[in-house]
Structures are given as structure tokens and as C-alpha cells.
Structure 1
Amino acid sequence: MDVRTGFFALLVAGLGVVGYLMVDPFLQYVLAAGLLAFLLTPLHGRLAPRIGPRPSAIVLTAFAFVAAVVPLLVFSFVILQTVLSFLNDLEESDVTEAIETVRNVLVDDFGLDPEQVDELELMVAEEFEAFLYASLETVLSEALGLVNRTIHMSFGLMVLVFLLYYFLVDGERFLGWVRGVTPLEDSVVDELFDEMSVVTWAVIQSHLLVAIVEGILGGIGLYVVGVSNVAFWTVVMIVVSILPIVGVWLVWGPAVAYLFVTGDVLGGVFLLGYGLAVLSVVDNYLRAIFVDKGSGLHPAVVLIGVVGGIYLLGILGLFLGPILLAVFKASVTVFSRTQNPFDS
């Protein structure tokens, strides 16, 4: 490598680092735009010849925003509203009444010395006061950062919308550029793209789609029996359905027990039957059907993808994490089939 080539390589590397630093704050939105473009490209290919590529991209971008982005914003608002509602309902009188009830049980039923109960009550009150003080500090600090996060999310959504539009309009041109700069044979690049497409669709169908269906069906069951905060628990069920082994039973199971404890036997029996006859069957059959098509991901990999994706990319990492690991696995698979490191 001569000096000129080395300098040019260093220049490209430096500009690449600068480009990554510019993209990094909005990486999750860039990846989300790429995923949505991947999902909508087949539909764009059918719609574009009829109304034109740019009108088609505009229509599909608006559809994706309404169908994918708006629900995420609504779910985030529901979770925040539920937490604030819980804190608002936690009044001092309710806490005092609960402490008095526990005191009466300890003295009357268990026969403890009232002085010991007073000491225990004082200690619990001090701990609870410290907990409330720490919680208040946390809420205030989060409230101060809410404005910054709102601004960041607004810019991120703007980036997502514009990138999705241009991915749909110029996606073929972009893939052609990738083919041109990739130092691989065309057959290897084609195989790599095909493998990535297969595993991506498989993960979306066998994990994400099944989780969304299960969460919505579970939310319908909770709504029928009158469980409060149905929207919040629907979001929770979608999340736990993506995780391997863990499923929606983690929500509707305790809900059944709660209904029985509170005396709603009919609601508990209905939800139990609904969970066994509908939710469990949907989970077993849908997941089996889509997994049989070949997701190619071990449950442990999915678990790491979900947890690591949330940690790295936020709420969008819930969906992007497993897909990124699937794409990595596809790349390794194609490399192992097409490249032999022992070839001379």
C-alpha cells in the first residue's frame, strides 16, 4: 500500500467515524425506517406502477406512520398515564388505613405486643417516607428530562418518516450502490440478500406477529371480564409474548387468581377458559406454523435480542434486536457457505 492509498483509506475511515457519530443519536429510527421499508417494499412494487413511485411512497409512509408509529406513541402514553394514575391514587389516607389494618391483624390475630407493633410501625413509616422522597426525586428528574426526550423523539420521528419515504423511492438504487461497493461476487451478494430476507421475515412472523396477535387477544379477554388498565396490560402481554418460554399466561394467570379472590367467580372461570382455549391454542399453533417455515433463531438468541435491543435501542429495540441478530446469523451462514478460509 503506497502513501496515497493509505491516506485515502485513512480519510474514508475518518469520515466514516464522523458519519457514524452523526447517525448514532438517531440509530434506532434509522434502523426502524429500514425495517419498515423492507416490509413495505413488496406492496410498493405493486402500487408504484399504478399511481407512480413517489405517490406510492407517500401513501405507504403515511400508512406506516399510522399503523406502526402512532401505536407505539399511544402505548408509551398509556404506560405513563398508568404510572401517574397509580401515584395519584396512592393517597396518604389509603396508606394510613392499610397500616392500621395490618396493625390490628398483628395485635388481635397474632397476639404481638402493642409496643413492638408501634416500633415496627415507626420503622415502616420511616422507610416508606424515604421511599416516597426518593420516588419524588426520581419523578422530578425524569420530568426535567422529558422535554429533551420529547424534542429528541420529534427529530427522530422526522428522520424516520423522511428515510422511509426515500428508502421506498430510491431503495433499488441504494441496493445497487451497495452491490457496487461490496467487494464480493454478485452471486454471493444475491445469496446474502436472500438469506437476510428469509430470516427477517421468519423472525417477524414467528415472534413479532404472534406476540402482537396474542397481546391483542389477551387484551380483549381482560376487557370482557372488566379488568382495569386493559391497554397497559395489552402492551405488557405483547412484550412478554416475544420473550421465549414467557407468554401471556404471565398476565392472564394472575388476573384469573385476582378475579377469584375478589369474588368474581364467573369472570375468573371465563378468563381461565379463554386463556386455555384461545390464547394457549393461538400461541402453540401460530408459533408452530411460522417456526416451521424456518426462523432459524434459537429461543436464547431471541431472548438476548429482545433484552439487548431494548437496552441498546430503547423500545424499538424490542422489535429490532432479534432481527439484527437474525441478519448477523444470516451473514455468518452465507460466509461459511461461500468462503473457505483454508483455500489457498
Structure 2
Amino acid sequence: MRENLKISSSHWVLIIALLAAMFACYQLLIPYLNPIILAFIISMLMYPLHEKIEARFGEHPNICSLISCTILTFIIVIPLLFVLSALVQQGSVLSENIYKWVTHDGIQTAFEHPWVTTALNWANHYLPFDEVEPQDIAKRLAEFASGFGTRLVGMSAKILGDATNFLLDFFLMLFVLFFLLRDHNRIIHIIRHILPFSRSQEDRLFEEVEKVSKSAVMGSFLTALAQGFAGGIGMGITGFPMLFWGTMMGFASFIPVVGTALVWIPAAAYLFLTGDTTWAIFLAAWSIVVVGSIDNLLRPLLMQGSNGMNTLMIFFSLLGGLQLFGLIGLLYGPLIFAITIVLFNLYEEEFSRFLDKQDQS
């Protein structure tokens, strides 16, 4: 008995020491967790392509991994640099146009529109606020427009800083990805060996993580790309800078509930107030029918890999992930929910006799 107790105690000491060491490692890796986790997820998504490269250069694992990382770099970084440079250019032109419109009586023309006059009269009569005068609004907008260029420079500097951080994180992710692709089989073997599950349970866990990773990437990021592309076409047709506003609509599509309406409704209202009623109706119709249908049809289709997750769970996983982790939470949220569901199913199977007894008692 004593020998068994001694062995059990040493096991507990080992487990506690291991947990403490793992916590210390976690503290060291906190600043780099996003690139590392992203590297794990991308390694799963890229592995089918990497296998084809390995079939051609199988005797050189370092070269195979380097080729895969190079392909990913050209797919992401080169288009991103092009888009960022175009965004800064079109954003500068946009700020100049806004300033000219506000300071050259464009705002006064908009306030003379019958619908705007009616809306202001209604607001002044029924709403419990101080009386709203068009001249006061025009003055505030002119003050805002005069400082808009300065704000845009500040925003551009912030975007540039974020882009620099993104590139640093991206190359760190590439560094991790290189080793994950090169040593994929060995890493999977180690994880399987450590996990206290049966082989079938491990297979289910790995398959679900892979499915949800693919569906989250496809469902969120490809939908945003498609909506930004379609929205940019609509904005370009109606006379707005296509790339700038298409990118804004792509980012807006990540925002739950409102989505791309955050961009196209003010744009359509501007066209309407400046007398381009036909183009305003076209932009609204295009955004509702074409851009909106992408979100309603493409996102559920691409996220159907999230087995066991209904629409409500997917919605809250995206919303909660975005709130807790930022943009990367659109990937983390569904992944956390999916792993929880798999673990719950494994628990239900493992303790099925006990649970059945509880139901009968």
C-alpha cells in the first residue's frame, strides 16, 4: 500500500511540476500566440498542397516546406502590399473630394433637398432636442472636413503601423509554419501519443478541428473577400473609388448584424441628396440583392463543415470571438465551440452507462 501511495504521490508531483512548467511556457509565448496558432491552422489547410509538393521533392523536406511557405507569401503579402498602396492613394483623393464638397456649398445643396427639409422640421418639432439648424450642421461638417486630411494622415500612419505588425507576425507565422509542415507527421504522432484518448476519438477530434478551421476561414474571410469585391464593383459603377470602398465593405462584412450596410447606406444617401436618385436606387438595389445574397447564401454554404453547430451557435461563436480576440476571433470562436462539442460528445459516450442510470433514477 505504501509503495502504491508513494508512486501515486510522485505522479502528482510530476503532474503539478509539468503544469507549472507549461504555465511558464504559456507566459513566455503569450505575445506570439496568434502567429503560432495561425501557423497550426494554416498548416492543416495547406497540407494537401504540401503533400503534392512532397510527392515531387520527397527526399528534400526542407525544400518542400520552403516552397510551400513561399507560395503562401506570394498569395498573401504581394496582393496586400498592392491593396495598401492603392488604399492610401484613393483615401487621399477621397479626403480632398469630401473637403471640396463641404466647403463649396455641396452641403448646402443637400440641405435644400425637400426630404431633408421635411426631416429636419419633423425632428425640430417632435424630438426633445435643441432646434437643429442646417447652418450649424454645415459649420460642424466644415470643421470636420478641414481636419479630415490630418486625421487621414494619422489613420494612414496607424494602418502602416498595423501593417508592419502584421508583416512581422506573418513572417513569424511563416517561420513556425516551415517546421510544422516539415515535421507534420512527427508532430501529429507526438500529439496522439500524449492525448489520453483512443485512436478513434483522436481521429474525430482532429477531423473536427480541420473541418471547422476550413469552414471558418472560408465562411468568414472568403465571404468578406467576395462581398468586398462585389461591393467595390457597385461603388465603382456609381462613381466612388472602387478599391477603397470595396475594401471598407469587406472589413464591414465582419461586423455582425449591420455588415456592409454600414458603408452602402451612407453612400446611397449621399447620391440621393446630391440629385443622383437613379444611381442611389441602383446602389441600394445592388447592395441588397448582390452583396447581401453573398452573405445569406455563401457564408452558410462555406460554414457547413461545422458539424453539430447550428446557425445560432455559429452566430454567437463569431460574435463572441470578435469581441474577445478581435479579427482573429472569427477563426478562434467557431474553433473553440467545435472542440467543446467534440469533447462533450466524447464525454457523453465515455460515461453513457452512468448517464443512462441517472436518467432512469
Q: Give the alignment's TM-score, normalised by structure 2.
A: 0.69
* Alignment-mate amino acid for residue 65 of structure 1: T
Residue 201 of structure 2 corresponds to 188
Match of 1:30 among 30, 36, 40: 36
Residue 212 of structure 2 corresponds to 199
CA contact (8 A) 1:199 1:330 kept: no
Cα drift, residue 196 of structure 1? 2.3
Residue 57 of structure 1 corresponds to 65
User: Which shifted more, 147-156 or 248-257?
Assistant: 147-156
Match of 1:67 among 63, 68, 75: 75
Structure 2 distance, partners of 1:306, 1:239, is 14
Structure 2 distance, partners of 1:220, 1:188, is 47
After superposition, the C-alpha distances for 1:75-124 in whole angstroms (9 at most, x for unaligned) are 67777888888888898x999989x97xx99xxx99xxxxx99xxx99xx
CA contact (8 A) 1:218 1:234 kept: yes
The within-5 A match list for 1:99-110 is: none
The within-5 A match list for 1:154-165 is: 155-165=168-178
Change (3 A) 1:97 1:234: closer
The within-5 A match list for 1:102-251 is: 153=166, 155-228=168-241, 230-251=242-263
* Alignment-mate amino acid for residue 186 of structure 2: R
CA contact (8 A) 1:192 1:334 kept: no
Match of 1:279 among 291, 312, 323: 291
Larger relative CO (CA 8 A, sep 6+): 1 or 2? 1
* Alignment-mate amino acid for residue 190 of structure 1: D
CA contact (8 A) 2:45 2:210 kept: no
After superposition, the C-alpha distances for 1:14-49 in whole angstroms (9 at most, x for unaligned) are 221121112110111111112211111111122210
CA contact (8 A) 1:202 1:295 kept: no
Identity %: 25
Structure 2 distance, partners of 1:158, 1:79, is 23
* Alignment-mate amino acid for residue 214 of structure 1: Q
User: Which shifted more, 176-185 or 304-313?
Assistant: 304-313
- What's the RMSD between the two structures over aligned residues? 4.7
* Alignment-mate amino acid for residue 64 of structure 1: L
Structure 1 distance, partners of 2:194, 2:234, is 52
Residue 113 of structure 1 corresponds to none
Matched, 1:329 2:341: yes
Matched, 1:252 2:264: yes
The within-5 A match list for 1:291-330 is: 296-330=308-342
SS at match of 1:189: helix
Change (3 A) 1:97 1:209: closer
Cα drift, residue 11 of structure 1? 2.4
* Matched residue count: 332
SS at match of 1:183: coil
Structure 2 distance, partners of 1:73, 1:64, is 14
Structure 2 distance, partners of 1:273, 1:218, is 11
Cα drift, residue 273 of structure 1? 3.9
Structure 2 distance, partners of 1:56, 1:274, is 45
Cα drift, residue 217 of structure 1? 1.4
Matched, 1:46 2:58: no
Change (3 A) 1:328 1:161: same
After superposition, the C-alpha distances for 1:193-217 in whole angstroms (9 at most, x for unaligned) are 1222233333333443223212221
After superposition, the C-alpha distances for 1:170-220 in whole angstroms (9 at most, x for unaligned) are 112111100001111111111211222233333333443223212221112
Structure 1 distance, partners of 2:329, 2:50, is 25
SS at match of 1:16: helix
Name stretches of at least 5 consecutive residues in structure 1 with no aligned partner: 111-115
* Alignment-mate amino acid for residue 70 of structure 2: A
* Alignment-mate amino acid for residue 296 of structure 2: N
CA contact (8 A) 2:256 2:319 kept: no
Name stretches of at least 5 consecutive residues in structure 2 with no aligned partner: 121-129
Structure 1 distance, partners of 2:327, 2:176, is 19
Residue 126 of structure 2 corresponds to none
* Alignment-mate amino acid for residue 7 of structure 1: V
Change (3 A) 1:252 1:54: same
Structure 2 distance, partners of 1:273, 1:151, is 38
* Alignment-mate amino acid for residue 291 of structure 2: L
Residue 123 of structure 2 corresponds to none
Structure 2 distance, partners of 1:163, 1:341, is 43
User: Which shifted more, 206-215 or 1-10?
Assistant: 1-10
